[in-house]
Amino acid sequence: MPKKRVLIVGGGLAGITAAVELTRHGYQVRLIESRPRLGGRASSISDPATGELIDNCQHVNMGCCTSFQKLCRLTNTSQFLTNERQLHFIGPDSKVNILKNGPLPAPAHLAFSFAKLSYLSWKEKLSLAAALLRLKRATRPATAAFIDWLKMQKQSQNLIDRFWAVVLVSALSEDLDRIDFYHARKVFLDGFLQDRNAWKVQLLKIPLGQFYDEHIQNWLINRGAKIELKTGLQEFLVEQNVNEQPVISGAKLRDGSVWEADHYVLAVSFDRVKTLLPELVKETNEFSQIDKIESAPITSVHLWFDQPITKLRHAVLIDRVSQWVFNRNAILKQTATSSSRYYYQVVISNSRDIKEKTSGTQQELIAQIVQELKEIWPTAASAKLLHARVITEHRAVFSVTPGIEKIRPPQQTPISNLQIAGDWTNTGWPSTMESAVRSGFLAAQNIANQDLPSTAQD
């Protein structure tokens, strides 16, 4: 019996995951991507000044993100993940505070680390502990904004700024008054309170471009999947089947060619999906509100110095414009280049108001970031900045605004052989690599379930 064919439109994590899972289930998979590379918003570009492959943003995984880890196991890429056994939080006093597991079971496994935070008072620490325990037992309040819940818990502004916002802005890239209570609670419940190892950050030891365009792409090609870059979809062709139900009969590409398949997966961002969905899908209740989904930007500042400024692999900075600093040489396990360049990446989530904090220009932002690094690490004061580059992904994530779950659509569309996938679809997770991967698995499983028992495998 010939293999059933699936066309996947979009080569981000959601599309890649669907391709991996469907290939495993014996489908003939063809994946098209309009860009010249895979990865979507989580990708790499070549920096012309250094010749290095740099990630548009430092993407991290956590121990609680089990679907992404599954994808890595399936594609034999787990070897490229490295676990950070502790996190470094640097307060306004430049003291390094270490977050690591203590001897107590969850949810108290991090209690000793929280107790030692130098930038919170003992009164604030006790207030924080009480709020975290209440959050573990909490249900959605009448008001869905997380900031309102924090105010009901009488959390001080200092505690909100130096703890709650530090965690949530990094995880969700939004202001606290624009974060849905459900997603804020999920971050703390799944990431910190339920399992001793859920909080542990995982980093890729290779650039995202190598991860997608070399290793995962080769895994797919070696198993018969076809991947075509610089190939875009113009529209889906819809007709009625013998049961007078609408089906996708083909996909018309931008070059005018038409490719027919048994199933189709549309795995593009929420701001593009409506231009490609058939009208009868866009008109249904579950898919009609996609255009209400908002986005948030993330900015990365890439810095190359003539000498190392810190041995830390990463650091979370408190009360500064800089939020996370990643020592890329250490993470990639590279020594300095022949020209003695030491590469660091600073990530600023929810960077909408960055112009207000830095007077507007990229050069002023770079100067602000470098000054902050000099205040923390004395070695940075004597280091020479060789090169800098600012990259802002303006629609990096979808915003988990109050009520967002009511407008996130499912993967299955009203057309039986059309699935959608993306971190913004209904996965129960915020805008993360984990959510994108979950959506890909869900879309693939929907297809396999439709074809049972002929093609689905254990």
Neighbours of 449 (CB within 10 A): 10
DSSP reduced 3-state for 410? coil
Angle at 296 (CA atoms; ends 285, 330), nearest 5 degrees: 130
pLDDT digits (tens, 9 = 90+) for 118-156: 999 999 999 999 999 999 998 876 558 999 999 999 999
Identify the sign of the CA torsion 426, 431, 435, 436: positive
pLDDT reading at 219 higher than 90: yes
Q: Is the peptide bond before 107 cis (omega within 30 degrees of 0)?
A: yes
pLDDT band at 340 (very low <50, low <70, confident <90, very high): confident
pLDDT band at 359 (very low <50, low <70, confident <90, very high): low
pLDDT reading at 437 higher than 70: yes
Q: Find out whether 418 and 273 touch, Cβ atoms under 8 Å.
A: no
Give the tokens for residue 16: 């890649």
pLDDT digits (tens, 9 = 90+) for 62-91: 999 999 999 999 999 999 999 999 999 999
Mean pLDDT of 384-392: 95
Give me the pLDDT at residue 108, please: 95
Cβ contacts of 280 within 8 Å, gap of 6 or more: 238, 246, 414, 415
The amino acid present at 129, given as its one-letter code, is: A
With 0-12 / 13-18 / 19 or more C-beta atoms within 10 angstroms meaning exposed / middle / buried, residue 252 is middle
pLDDT digits (tens, 9 = 90+) for 321-334: 999 999 999 998 76
The closest of 233, 238, 230 to 275, measured between CA atoms, is: 233
b/e per residue, 129-140, with b = 16+ CB within 10 A?
A: eebbeebeeeee
Report the greatest alpha carbon distance in the chain: 75
b/e per residue, 212-251, with b = 16+ CB within 10 A?
A: bbebbbebbeeeebebeeebebeebebeeeeeeebbbebb
pLDDT band at 336 (very low <50, low <70, confident <90, very high): low
Mean pLDDT of 237-244: 85
**DSSP secondary-structure letter at 188?**
H
Mean pLDDT of 346-362: 81
Whole-number Å distance between alpha carbons of 147 and 277? 36
Whole-number Å distance between alpha carbons of 212 and 222? 14
**DSSP secondary-structure letter at 292?**
G
Give me the domains of the chain, ranges plus CATH numbers: 5-42+207-292+402-450 (3.50.50.60), 106-193 (1.10.3110), 295-398 (3.90.660.10)
Question: How much of the chain is helix, strand and coil, in % rounded to 5?
Answer: 35, 25, 40
Q: Which residue has the tokens 């919170």?
A: 120
The DSSP secondary structure of 122-180, one letter per residue, reads HHHHHHHHHHHHHHHH----SS-BHHHHHHHTT--HHHIIIIIHHHHHHHH-S-GGGSB
DSSP reduced 3-state for 284? coil
Give me the pLDDT at residue 453, please: 67
DSSP reduced 3-state for 342? strand
Q: Does residue 132 come out as left (phi exceeding 0), alpha (psi in the -120 to 50 range) or beta?
A: alpha
What is the overall mean pLDDT for the chain? 93
Give the tokens for residue 332: 């990639």
pLDDT digits (tens, 9 = 90+) for 271-317: 999 999 999 999 999 999 999 999 999 999 999 999 999 999 999 99
Q: Find out whether 352 and 296 touch, Cβ atoms under 8 Å.
A: yes
The DSSP secondary structure of 1-29, one letter per residue, reads -PPPEEEEE--SHHHHHHHHHHHHTT-EE
